[in-house]
Structure 1
Amino acid sequence: MPRIELYKQILENLSTAVVLLDASMQVEYANPAAEMLLEASLRRLAQVPVSEWFLPDETGFADLQACLKNSHPYTRREAKLVTQSGNHLTVDYSINPLFISSGRQLLIEIEARDRLMRIEREEDLLSQHETARSLVRGMAHEIKNPLGGIRGAAQLLERELEDPALHDYTRVIIEEADRLRNLVDRLLGPRTLPKMEDVNIHAILERVCHLIQAETKGAVALVRDYDPSIPEFIGDSEQLIQAILNILRNSMQAMQAAETPRPEIQIKTRALRQITLGAEKHRLACCVEITDNGPGIPEDILSKIFYPMVSGRAEGTGLGLSIAQSIINQHRGLIECDTRPGETRFQLFIPLELNNESVR
């Protein structure tokens, strides 16, 4: 094989994006990895000014100009690029000047950071949730044992009391013990293994939408954007309904508390390919996005919203999101949240190749 052909094959099989610019800052070459990263063909990239790759506050284009002028290589970490489809990417890139007979050129190597950052964030999220659940399980054990003793003693005391008027006091003790036991059970989340069967995510979403519409009497607009290509998968429909209902209720109550004008919840489904959830890669996954136009989640509790007893509302129990995360975790998926004033988005990721043997 000729050496030039070998070099070309090496470039075209790299997972790192490689772009070559000429002296006029026009794209002369881009390997397939660069075309995929920038979401455009080489022909399209050659027609677009390189300055459009960068956000207005980024120094990327200035780096290219400086490298071309002074011939010093540049490296930038966690910079922002804009693809030809308008998506924003976090990348590391290196710029190296080349000197050839036809003039000075620039070689750019680009490595996407989004996937690595996402894996780190998801592993941290799953670790935090598992730590919280372990703490709650230990606390529940310590609380339920004395509660059982208190309840039993109150029942025995009630039998010994001759004055029926005093039974009111023992009933208060029994009822409060039962209330605390139920609270602890809710903290623990689902206590049974999922009942796995074929489920349709859109049928589940429609069931939840009907419940929300009934509760709000149509005061909250529900906007659907479904991907009909998502196949049925193995899951527990009742638990999934509970998880999604908890999230929609959370959004609905936040907007009602803030008196959001024209409250709206958008529900979007998409099929994602080759996605990593935590440390596990999945060939195909379902993504359910739930976005509201409410006040947003306070910054001080955003990183803790999936912990039990954490709530942004004074009257909230702080259990809905924790239970939802536990249910999706049982389906080997996870929930992520992104928020800003005027918009809060929850993303539920559920692997579609799930089977009964793989359920934790």
Structure 2
Amino acid sequence: MPEFERHKQVLENLSTAVVMLNKDLSLEYANPASEMLLEASRRRLEQAEVLDLFPGSALEGANLREAFLSGHPYTLREAKLRTLGGHDLIVDYSVNPLFIGRSKYLIIEIQPRDRLMRIEREEDLLTQHASARTLIRGLAHEIKNPLGGIRGAAQLLERELDEPLLHDYTRVIIEEADRLRNLVDRLLGPRQLPQMSSINIHAIMERVCSLITAESGQSICFERDYDPSIPEFIGDREQLIQAFLNIVRNGMQALNAANIEQPCIQLRTRALRQITLGAEKHRLVCCVEIIDNGPGIPEDIFTRIFYPMVSGRAEGTGLGLSIAQSIINQHQGLIECDTRPGETRFQIFIPLELNHESAR
């Protein structure tokens, strides 16, 4: 094999995006990894203005020309790059001058940071949630044991009391012990093992819509954008309904509290390929987006919304999102959230190739 062809084959099989520019800063070469990253074929990249990939194109154009003239390489960390599909990426990229015979070129190596940052964020989220669950289980054990003793003692005391009026006090003790036990049970989330069966995600979303429509008195507008290509997958229907219901109900309550003029919740489903959730890569993932046009989540609680007992409402229990995250975790998935005034977006990722043993 000629040496040139050997080098080209190496470039074609790199997972790092590599593009080569000529003296006019026009594209001379792009490997397949760069086509995937920039969401365009090589032919389209050759026809496009390369500087359009950089949001600050004037400044970056000056940097590229300076590197071409001076022969000095440079590197930028966590820079913004805009794909030809219009999506903004965070990337690290290095620019290196290259001489081939008497011709001079610029080689740009691009490493996407979005995926790495997302993996780090997801791993941190999963670790925090697992730590919170461990703490809650320990507290629940310490709380439920004495509660059982208090309730039993109150029942025995009630039998020994001859004065009916004093029974009111023992009933208060028993009822409050039951209330605390129920609260601890809710903190622990679903206690039964998942009842796995083949389910359709859109049937689940429609069930949630009908429940919220009845609760809200049809005051919430639902916009649906479903991907019909998503296949059925293995999951616990009732638990997934509960998880999605908790998230949509949170959106409904936020919209009602803010008196939004035209309250709307968007439901969007997509099938995503080659997605990493935590430390595990999945070939095919179902992504459900639940988007409301409410005021957004307060900044002071945003990083803690999946913790138990954290709520933005005075009357809220702060258990809905924590339980939802636990249920989705049982399905090897993850819930993420992004918020700003006028839009709160929950993304729920569920692998479509569920490992049955780990789900149990």
TM-score, reference length from structure 2:
0.97
Where in structure 2 are the equivalents of 1:291-302 lying within 5 Å?
A: 291-302=291-302
CA contact (8 A) 1:234 1:355 kept: no
Instruction: Work out the CA distance in 2 between the residues paired with 1:299 and 1:72.
Output: 43
Whether the aligned pair in 1 keeps the contact of 2:51 and 2:57 (CA below 8 Å) is: no
Q: What SS does the aligned partner of 1:176 have?
A: helix
- Cα distance, 1:59 vs structure 2: 4.9
Q: 1:349: Cα distance to partner? A: 0.5
Aligned residue in 2 for 1:137 = 137
| 1:196-250, Cα deviation, whole Å (9 max, x unpaired) | 0011100000000000111111111110100001111110000000000000001
Q: Does 1:182 align with 2:168?
A: no
Q: How does 1:74-223 map to 2 (within 5 A)?
A: 74-101=74-101, 103-223=103-223
More deviation, 236-245/141-150: 141-150
Post-superposition shift, 1:61? 3.4
SS at 2:295 equivalent: coil
Q: Distance in 1 between matches of 2:310 and 2:119?
A: 25
Aligned 1:1-360 pairs, distance under 5 A: 1-56=1-56, 59-101=59-101, 103-360=103-360
Larger deviation: 308-317 or 243-252? 308-317
Name the SS of the counterpart of 2:313 in structure 1.
coil
Give 1:102 deviation, angstroms: 5.2
Gaps of 5+ in 2: none
User: Which sections of structure 1, spanning at least 5 residues, go unmatched?
Assistant: none
> What is the SS of the residue equivalent to 1:229?
coil
Distance 2:311 2:319 in 1: 8
Question: Separation in 2 of the partners of 1:251 and 1:133?
Answer: 24
Give 1:101 deviation, angstroms.
Answer: 4.6
The more displaced of 325-334 and 46-55 is 46-55
The Cα shift of 1:56 comes to: 3.5
Q: Distance in 2 between matches of 1:142 and 1:102?
A: 77
Partner SS for 2:230: coil
TM-score (norm 1): 0.97
**What one-letter code is carried by the residue in structure 2 that aligns with 1:218?**
Q
Distance 1:145 1:270 in 2: 45
Give the aligned residue type for 2:288: V
RMSD: 1.4
Q: Which runs of 4+ in 1 moved over 6 A?
A: none
Kindly provide the amino acid, as one letter, of the partner of residue 177 in structure 1.
Answer: A
Give the count of matched residue pairs.
Answer: 360
* Whole-angstrom CA distance in 2 between matches of 1:282 and 1:208: 27
